[in-house]
Structure 1
Amino acid sequence: MTIMSAFMIVTITLLLVTSMLLYSRFSLSSHETIIQNTQSVMKQTQENLEDYLVSMRRISDAVNFNVIAEYDVSNPSLEREMSLIYESYRDRLISIALYDRSGSLIASVPVVSQKTEPNVTKQAWFIAALSRIENMHFSTPHIQNLFDDATYSYHRVISLSRAVDITDSEIPKTGVLLVDMNYSSVAQILEQINSNKNGQYYYLCDGSGNIIYHPRQVLIAEGLASEDSTMAAARKDGVYEDWQNGEKRIFIVQTIAYTGWKLVGVIPAKSFSYGIINVQLFLVLLLLLTAMTSLAVSRLVAGRISRPILRLNESVKAYEAGERPQIYIGGSTEIRHLGHSIQTSYENNEALMQQIVKEQSERRRSEFEALQSQINPHFLYNTLDSITWMVEGGKNKDAVIMISELARLLRISLSKGHTIISVEDELLHSRSYMNIQKVRYKERFAVEFCIDPEIHSYCCVKLILQPILENAIYYGVGNMDEDDGGKITVTGKKEGTDIVILIADNGNGMTEEEAANVLTNNNIVHKHGSGVGLVNVHSRIQLIFGKNYGLKVESEPDCGTTITIRFPAIPFTEEDRSLLEQGRIPQKEGGHGDE
């Protein structure tokens, strides 16, 4: 990533984070403000409605205590006094009527006659007044059709009804006072707050969910709109969330005193977005402006800083790719100083690496030669001693075989001073060794080589099989009688990118503890062994190929021992042999080498 890109990304990221925080904060604040404003409007509307209802109660009290309680129902002054009160509140009232318990009209203003239908005693307002005489009762809006008079048109009213004490010819009785309020007065209060164009609206319902006022009342009546007023009526005062017609909304409930009516304010979720559109536009413009400014600044920065750094970086990449370029030195003072420092560092590293490679190569060669030199003398002495005894014993034919095998063995051992030979030569060396040993041990054991010819042409550390075979003889099958069926099996194959050779014998075997110590410094070199043992072979393989390779020992008492040799499958070529002898591992077949 370039400095210019990084600068722009950091700047835009910071701006985005800041914008998101501002947007989130403003959205939350806007959300709270809209709810608080709605609650404030509803509080004022609640007070207006309660004031209106209180005025209706006062009118009802005035008729009850100042007129009905003072005059006998047969007194003509009763109707005259009721008329005076009616005229005082004519803008709010439609009518005032007084009924006896049987539903007969005693007096009314304006003066009208009562229809025979509907039956007054079956009206909800009449029944409620007589069933709960201590309360005043407010009805839902309805068309009043009790009176029969050409001048008295049908009106939409809200009825206040209450039980009152009347005197009929000086006899106390119970009657019902009905005050019909003009519904339009209530509607006007609510219409004033339903002018919001952001989708908010307010409606009024009774405690059962019957709608008293709704701005979409006509649509609801015709089934073109819906409102879950029953759910709202069942709620206590507070703020709630719900979904209607797949749209999330907030609704606020406030109870109107004296009536149990519920004033409900509804805020669709989309209403909250109206207040923050300008903020969104501002943030988008700010982001674009900042991005353009960042681009201009980043170009300036690139010209003075990033371009020299890019050229310096290209020099470094070329060096890492194996080239030897001249490190770029230019740009500002700091970048030039950095270029000089890198150039000096690379020169020092190159010299140091060459010195380390040389020292390691010399160390590996000296260590390997020291280990290798331990193998030959003891075995050579024993073999020559055996040949001497054969000649003296007249076994010239066996002596010739021994000398031929020994010559081949020594030729491969010398290998013109090479420490890396082919697997094929290592196997020839091992066969010669085993042929010599079989003669010495008078065929007391069998040897079988099961080698996949595919592995013949791969690199192998010289003389890794002989010490293992020697140990298999001395501590495995060498002490067994011919009838015991002693056997050593050598198998070899390629596994993935590795060469695997197994040497198995059916001799005495070892305990788990002994097997665990074979490849450690706790292993005791046996007096009859090659003087090197398995630790030597294991060390030489790891010295050449690394710690992932070497020997693995598996053994059980009386069940024999199996030793697995593993090393990488590197084709045998003069170039690869030279690299290995220099302490460098070439690419192995099907994999990757490293130096």
Structure 2
Amino acid sequence: MRNPLRTITGWFTNLHIRGKLLISYFILIFLPLALMTSFSYKNVSRDYEKQILHSADLSFDQAYTFLSYKVNTLIKASDVIYFNADVQTMLTRDKQAFGDDYVQQNIDRRKLESFLNSFQNAEDVYRASLYVPGWLMYAGQNFNFFDMDAFSQTGSYRALLASKDKVSWLPEHAITNNNSNLDPVPVISLLRKIRNSEQTTEIIGIIELNILKELIEDILRKANITNDGAVYLQNANGAIVSCSNMDNFRRINPNPALTQDAQTNGPTWRNAAIGGSDYVIKTRAVENTDWTMVTAIPMTEILTQSIRIRDLMLVLMLVCGLISYGLAYLIAGATVKRILLLKKKMRLVQEGVLNVEAQSASRDEIGELTDSFNHMVKRIRLLVEEQYQNGKEIKNLELKALQAQINPHFLYNTLEMINWKAIDNGVPDIAVISQSLAKFYKLSLNKGRDIVSIEDEINHIRAYVQIQNLRFDNKIKLDVQIDPALYGRDVLKLILQPLVENAIIHGILEARDGKEGTIAITGYPEMGEIVLTVADDGVGMPSEQAERLLANGIAGEEVQGYGVRNVDHRIKLCYGQEYGLAYRSSPGNGTSVEIRIPDRFR
């Protein structure tokens, strides 16, 4: 009796190549495709869940950062108001001495209004207000000023007194619109007690800083990456401060106790059953508030997407399998012919003919082999051409290298000659200029090295400012406050000079009308990084314009922004995308540029 395996092998061997290909396609397409689809579905489903949670993590952390920034901005603004000497003076005036002095009270009111309005902006502080003693004539204004005596009868005041925290937060409430023609706006408010600096047990006033509720809601909406989930803020009393989608929140109806372990478990994902449905929950307490930020994502939404992926992969498997099997019958007849054609092209390449290309419109194994052959021939042709061009360019590069060595020496020698000529002819200013210029270029070139020490970079700036002071009659004062321990750290060269040049040309010289200006350069280490700051007291600019300097720029800002963007781009290329420049500026208050780089030793 014949061996069945040998029988099947003999039968397959005697089949025409078309039959062999059809059977091989069935085995090599359908079975592996089915296994691959099953395996891929499990991995894709698991990876999709991780991707959703990762995306939610990024959005959550970004929203938390933005929210913390808003909170800290309000707290910093309250610090400025709290420690303002005029505020202390005006709120501690004696009632008997100033109760009938309406002229002085009006002066105080106007001065305080101007001071409070200076904090007002659309992005952070919508309005700054003070609760003042009720005997003051402007205590009932109810815009920038409120009657503290009346407020002391409210529960909010009693809660403020009972709180041991630096600030307290009022839940959502409506205040008068800054534009009196529009409806009141909902805000969330910070309250802070102002104590008498002479007698700290005495509360002389209360600071109220308002932020638009819609700004907080917008941050939370951006953090919510799902259709049916919700991101919300909950205070210590279980009340909802703000929410990304109230309809979703009401449908989920989460238990306020979800936030109780926010501090214990930290900002990690965990599963939770809410109302008979499964969710993944993440919570994190917001610093300097009694708020907890919570995000809830329904598991059904994650699983729904996984099921869609599974169905789509099954459909693709069937379609691809059937189409491939159907086309296999048509392709089999042309297989041998295509192989022989490809063999002919290969022999031409062996004979040294590189200008050949095998035509193929299919994507099967022979098609891939044909494409690989075409790619290989093109690559060989390019390598031959590249080798030829490299041979021509070697001499040019050697020539340029010699020139690069000669030019700096020629420049230094020329400047040294100018220096001695100026001394011989009694022109010390020219001698100073030539010496400063020589030092400037020597530090700029730095023997071709791109990395220098912070000390060399600062010396480079000193030389540059010295040259500019000779040009502008000593109108620029340079103040360097850098920890000497940082002088030996590595830094990318020529990152300070464009910023200092912008500070002089577009900041100080435009603002001073002949007066002196100051450029302050500071530096300090911070958590494995070095932070350098270049600040001027020039005209400043709107914050929107400052942000555009690091973007593409527009016609009026192209010259000023090109060098800045170049510095930012070089830093990111050298150290990574997390490093670079950050601008802070406002009209009339100068400009500050922060440079953040990794802390590295020479």
TM-score range, shorter chain: 0.3 to 0.5
Give the number of the structure whose alpha-carbon radius of gyration is greater: 1
Normalization by structure 2: what TM-score? 0.40
Give the structure with the larger helix fraction: 2
